[in-house]
Structure 1
Amino acid sequence: MKITTKINLLTTVWMLCILMIINFVVFFLFMKTTVNMEEKVLLQKAEDIIKGFDTNQSSSNIEPKLKDYLTDHTFIRIIQPKNKVVHEVTNDQLLSKKIKGKYTTTKQSQTRLISAENGEEEVLIVRLPIKHGNNESLEIGERLSGLETRKEILRGILGFCTILATVLSLLGGRWLANMVMRPISNMINTMEEIEKSGVPKKIVIQNKTRDELYTMASTFNRMIDRLQENLAKQAQFVSDASHELKTPLTIIKSYANLLRRQGLENQDIAEEAIHAIHTEATRIQKMTDTFLDLANLENENVLEINKINLVSLCESILKQLKEVYKREITLHFEENPITIYADELKIKQVIIILLDNAIKYSQENIEVFLDKKEKHAMIQIKDYGIGIPVDEIDNIFERFYRVDKARSRETGGSGLGLHIAKRIIKLHKGHLKINSKEGSGTKVELFLPIYNEQIQD
């Protein structure tokens, strides 16, 4: 069953239940009010009769006076103990036969159903004691003929209103269901088109109602935006990676063809070719490892958080790099230890990436500063090399971006290091800041939270 049909039926059933309850309450209150009004009128008549009643009058005088109070379909009785009727006047013999007299010493009223000529009919009966020294009571009975007519009219009105409300509920429920389901239907159609074509597509939002359905459609469109963005990044990554691999592969192929043509007869050419092939193959290997690191970072959400002393970590990294590159790198700190909670291997990777860039693009001393703020630890790496043009700083974190393509080619850079570093810092809820001036060097500031509950959890 369709959701629209379910909504339509449920709203109609609910409306019918409400109407049935309302109809019952209206009918009950109508009957109660009407009977109470008739009861007050009949009791007033009984009191008027009692006020003018004289116990010394003969029977021939009492009954004519009682007849003066008769209305249509009524009886009036004077009853003594043991339900003995001493006086009775009526203009409705059937009513008089159906209702037996009853003596009472208190004021009473009741309604009864009797079988009349046209079916069942309701009768109102009131009883009052006559307090003139004799043990007698007055009883008046009256058919509520008008009440039955009014009941039928009310039933007809309520029935008609119920049928009309049901029809309107069905129509309104269908309209409401269509209105509610329209964005969902659009989403379903869009998803089916995406499934068939394989091309992401947004939902067209016609009315900005700012309700849950609008929020759902907007969320879907934002998801499509991110999907398109990721697909574009993926295509760009494949294109850039292919471009990066194309050059070393071309060099390897060229030197391999040279060796195949000339063989190993020319020792100098052979050595040059072997060296070039080895160099480019090594560069491809490093580039592949970088690609794998980048792919892992894009899919990784969990970090191996441990307690780290930044001073000890930086001392270890600097010692290794000094031995490999034979460069002077100075570490400055005023407090030891400087402790943070982070993934040690990934933080080490970031520091090595930043120091490797400083070593590649500077010839003078490199300085590393460690400091601790209230909520963050700061690592500052400062070199005095060629620097970065101001208009290039915003682009250096993009994949495969290199400020100086020729120089980066010589040093073996892939343009992925800073992108990976920024991604790692983002996973740690930190941030990376670069200040540089062309020809004067570069200062990189790395801020890491000392303790991040979201990461720790």
Structure 2
Amino acid sequence: MKITTKINIMTTAWILCVLVAVNVVVFFSFMKVTVNMEDQELYQRANTLIKEMKLDQSTNLVKDQVIPYLAGQSFIRIVEPGSKITHEVTNAKLISAKVKPKFVQKKVAERKTIHQKNGEEEILVIRVPIRSDGKILRSLEIGEKLSGLELAKDVLLSIQISSTVLGALLAMLGGRWLSNLIMRPISNMINTMEDIEQSGIPKKIVIQHETRDELQKMAVTFNRMIGRLEENLEKQKQFISDASHELKTPLTVIKSFADHLLRRGIRNEADALDAIETIHSEATRIQKMTERFLDLAATESATLLETKSLDLVVLCGNISKQLQSAYKRDIHLHFAAPSIMVTADELKLKQAIIILIDNAIKYSTDKIDVFLNVNEQNTVIKVKDYGIGIPEYEIKNIFERFYRVDKARSRETGGTGLGLAIAKNIMKQHHGEVKISSKEGVGTEAELFLPKSERKENE
């Protein structure tokens, strides 16, 4: 069953239930109020009759005195103890014959339904005690056919039935309109998804009206998701294009020297060794580049971090010693406190720090300083070199993949242009950031910011 049909049926059923409940309450309230009004009218008539006739033990009920109090089809009786009728005046003998007399000591009202040839009729009977000298000697009994009530009841029932049927029809139309209104953006989303499935091309939903409700929010969220998907697809295309371009050069060199060896063989040993060394160098570049590709893909796709509490001073000290030993360069570590604790993924944070120090080693020949500081919001790791620096107009591009400031020097040092992109992704996973400031010919400062709030949440 379609959702629109379910909504239509449920709204119609609910409105019908509400209408029926309201009609029942209205009907019984109307009957109660109307009968109470009839009761009060008959009680008033009975009290007036008793007062004007001034009945006592020796007074006889005179027909001429009572007839003016008859209204419509009714009867008036005087009933003595033992429920014996002493006087009766009526213009509806069939009704009076159906109602048995009853002596009462307090006033009561009774509604009776009597069956006649032409159907059922409602009769209202009130009984009022007649007092004389503080004693109850007789009771006055007035009965009247509720012809107006029957008519009003029939009219009310017909109106309620008609309004219920009309309400059901309007509920069905309203339910259909409501279901269509609710389902329109969902249907648009379904159609858009089907188009995406068939064409393989991301497509956004066209939002025609600003409804500012959950449905519009769903459509906006879908469009935002499609936007990110398009952005990721574009990044993938750009990544493939850049990677292909980067791999093309070393593969061309390898193929060229391999062809050279195939043509000339190894008769010239020096020439052959030079070709083999070049092939080995370019193959090593491809291997390092592939490893960088994998690192970049891992940092872009992975969102879970294996965080733990670690001492940044100890971590950076170990990194400095390893790189100092490997590259024979002076790396000086400066820290604001003997122990600076952070909560982070140790391997990924170490990778980001190594990328910054590695870049400093490649693009400088002097010493390298590493500073560890803590401010109100962040723990800051700053790597400062005194090398060639970066032109100001180049700084905005350095986080792009495969981008190199000095392309010739990067090839000599084995740079791929992926390091800072990887470091940026790692810090993004830690809800931090990377900042680069540089002055050409003076040096470069690279800073990693780890927010304190993130550490506290992880702890």
Q: TM-score range by the shorter chain?
A: over 0.9
Q: CA deviation at 1:375?
A: 4.5
Partner of 1:141, secondary structure, is strand
Distance 1:53 1:358 in 2: 124
TM-score, normalised to structure 1's length? Answer: 0.96
Distance 2:156 2:22 in 1: 13
Contact 1:383 1:443 in 2 (8 A): yes
Q: CA deviation at 1:329?
A: 2.1
Distance 2:358 2:274 in 1: 27
Q: CA deviation at 1:247?
A: 0.6
Once the two structures are superposed, residues 198-247 of structure 1 have per-residue CA deviations (whole angstroms, 9 ceiling, x without a partner) of: 11100010001110000000000000000000000011111111111111
Residue type of the alignment partner of 2:218? M
Equivalent residue number for residue 68 of structure 2: 68
Contact 2:389 2:444 in 1 (8 A): yes
Contact 2:344 2:455 in 1 (8 A): no
Contact 2:395 2:436 in 1 (8 A): yes
Unpaired stretches in structure 1, ≥5 consecutive residues: none
Equivalent residue number for residue 20 of structure 2: 20
Once the two structures are superposed, residues 108-143 of structure 1 have per-residue CA deviations (whole angstroms, 9 ceiling, x without a partner) of: 111100113421111011111111256211111111
Equivalent residue number for residue 147 of structure 2: 145
Equivalent residue number for residue 90 of structure 1: 90
Equivalent residue number for residue 246 of structure 2: 244
Residue type of the alignment partner of 1:140? I
Equivalent residue number for residue 11 of structure 1: 11
Residue type of the alignment partner of 2:48? D
Residue type of the alignment partner of 2:105? T
Equivalent residue number for residue 259 of structure 2: 257
Equivalent residue number for residue 410 of structure 2: 408
The match for 2:271 among 269, 275, 294 is 269
Partner of 1:82, secondary structure, is coil
Residue type of the alignment partner of 2:93? Q
Residue type of the alignment partner of 2:94? L
Contact 1:305 1:455 in 2 (8 A): no
Between stretches 192-201 and 110-119, larger displacement belongs to 110-119
Q: CA deviation at 1:249?
A: 0.6
Once the two structures are superposed, residues 353-395 of structure 1 have per-residue CA deviations (whole angstroms, 9 ceiling, x without a partner) of: 1111111111222222222334532222111111111111111
Counterparts of 1:125-140 in structure 2, within 5 Å, are 125-133=125-133, 135-140=137-142
Partner of 1:191, secondary structure, is helix
Between stretches 358-367 and 234-243, larger displacement belongs to 358-367
Equivalent residue number for residue 301 of structure 1: 303
Distance 1:131 1:340 in 2: 100
Counterparts of 1:41-190 in structure 2, within 5 Å, are 41-51=41-51, 52-55=53-56, 59=60, 62-133=62-133, 135-190=137-192
Distance 1:195 1:428 in 2: 35
Distance 2:57 2:350 in 1: 124
Contact 1:264 1:270 in 2 (8 A): yes
Between stretches 157-166 and 375-384, larger displacement belongs to 375-384
Partner of 1:297, secondary structure, is helix
Q: CA deviation at 1:452?
A: 3.0
Overall identity of the aligned pairs, in %:
58
Once the two structures are superposed, residues 384-416 of structure 1 have per-residue CA deviations (whole angstroms, 9 ceiling, x without a partner) of: 111111111111011111112222122211100
Contact 2:343 2:455 in 1 (8 A): no
Once the two structures are superposed, residues 153-193 of structure 1 have per-residue CA deviations (whole angstroms, 9 ceiling, x without a partner) of: 11111111111111111111111111111101100110111
> Runs ≥4 in structure 1, deviation > 4 angstroms?
56-59
Counterparts of 1:216-255 in structure 2, within 5 Å, are 216-255=218-257
Between stretches 73-82 and 297-306, larger displacement belongs to 297-306
Contact 1:369 1:379 in 2 (8 A): yes
Q: CA deviation at 1:450?
A: 5.2
Equivalent residue number for residue 2 of structure 1: 2
Query: Cα–Cα, structure 1 residues 154 and 333, in superposed 2: closer, same or farther, change >3 Å?
Result: closer
Equivalent residue number for residue 428 of structure 2: 426
Residue type of the alignment partner of 1:328? D
Query: Cα–Cα, structure 1 residues 73 and 429, in superposed 2: closer, same or farther, change >3 Å?
Result: same
Partner of 1:285, secondary structure, is helix
Unpaired stretches in structure 2, ≥5 consecutive residues: none
Residue type of the alignment partner of 2:421? H
Contact 2:313 2:372 in 1 (8 A): yes
Residue type of the alignment partner of 2:85? V
Q: CA deviation at 1:34?
A: 1.4
Residue type of the alignment partner of 1:419? A
Partner of 1:387, secondary structure, is coil
Equivalent residue number for residue 382 of structure 1: 384
Contact 2:336 2:374 in 1 (8 A): no
Residue type of the alignment partner of 2:386? Y
Contact 2:373 2:381 in 1 (8 A): yes
Residue type of the alignment partner of 2:20? M
Query: Cα–Cα, structure 1 residues 152 and 13, in superposed 2: closer, same or farther, change >3 Å?
Result: same
Contact 1:388 1:437 in 2 (8 A): yes
TM-score, normalised to structure 2's length? Answer: 0.96
Contact 1:340 1:451 in 2 (8 A): no
Q: CA deviation at 1:38?
A: 1.3
Query: Cα–Cα, structure 1 residues 9 and 358, in superposed 2: closer, same or farther, change >3 Å?
Result: same
Once the two structures are superposed, residues 319-347 of structure 1 have per-residue CA deviations (whole angstroms, 9 ceiling, x without a partner) of: 22222222222222342122222222222
Q: CA deviation at 1:71?
A: 2.2
Distance 2:200 2:106 in 1: 90
